[in-house]
Amino acid sequence: MLQRYIQFVKKNFRPVLSKEAEEIISSYYRLQRRSSTHNAARTTVRMLESLIRLAQAHARLMFRNEVTRLDAITAILCIESSMTISAIVDSMGNALHSNFSEEPDQEYVKQEKIILGKLRRDDIY
């Protein structure tokens, strides 16, 4: 059943970035390039492309043809969780070593505020 679902969304959805998602992803990419804890040489265009693909994949799973803020934030959380040194989510803890929240919507809003604040994109919220 899961395989059919994935085949269906891959075939029927071709998400494009909304302006808001594009701004969030590009702000995160610029933050990574500037970050003193990261080697700027490791933050390549390939990373930017990966962020976009992750956000598009999340949009597909949510049955959407537009990448929204939710998809961009989720892509950033995935990338941050995979890094040894995090530019943003150190204050939230590693998602890979945490339990599921009793209130997932509230937890997402909290994480979104932290990420947009670190990206200095409070204007989006």
Report the 3 state secondary structure along 2-70.
Answer: HHHHHHHHHHHCCCEECHHHHHHHHHHHHHHHHCCCCCHHHCCHHHHHHHHHHHHHHHHHCCCCEECHH
Query: What distance in Å separates the CA atoms of residue 75 and residue 117, rounded to the nearest whole number?
Result: 17
Min mean pLDDT across 8-12, 13-17, 52-56, 94-98 is at 94-98
**Model confidence at 91: pLDDT above 60:** no
* Residues belonging to the chain: 125
Task: Name the phi and psi angles at 29, rounded to 5.
Answer: -60, -45
Domains defined for the chain, CATH in brackets:
2-118 (3.40.50.300)
The more confidently predicted of residues 73 and 113 is 73
pLDDT interval class at 63 (50, 70, 90): very high
Span 22-49, average pLDDT = 82
In percent, how much of the chain has pLDDT > 90?
44
**Model confidence at 125: pLDDT above 60:** no
Query: What distance in Å separates the CA atoms of residue 80 and residue 90, rounded to the nearest whole number?
Result: 9
Supply the pLDDT for residue 122.
Answer: 67
Query: What distance in Å separates the CA atoms of residue 67 and residue 58, rounded to the nearest whole number?
Result: 8
Query: Of the candidates 90, 91, 95, which has an alpha carbon nearest to the alpha carbon of residue 74?
Result: 95
Span 60-74, average pLDDT = 95
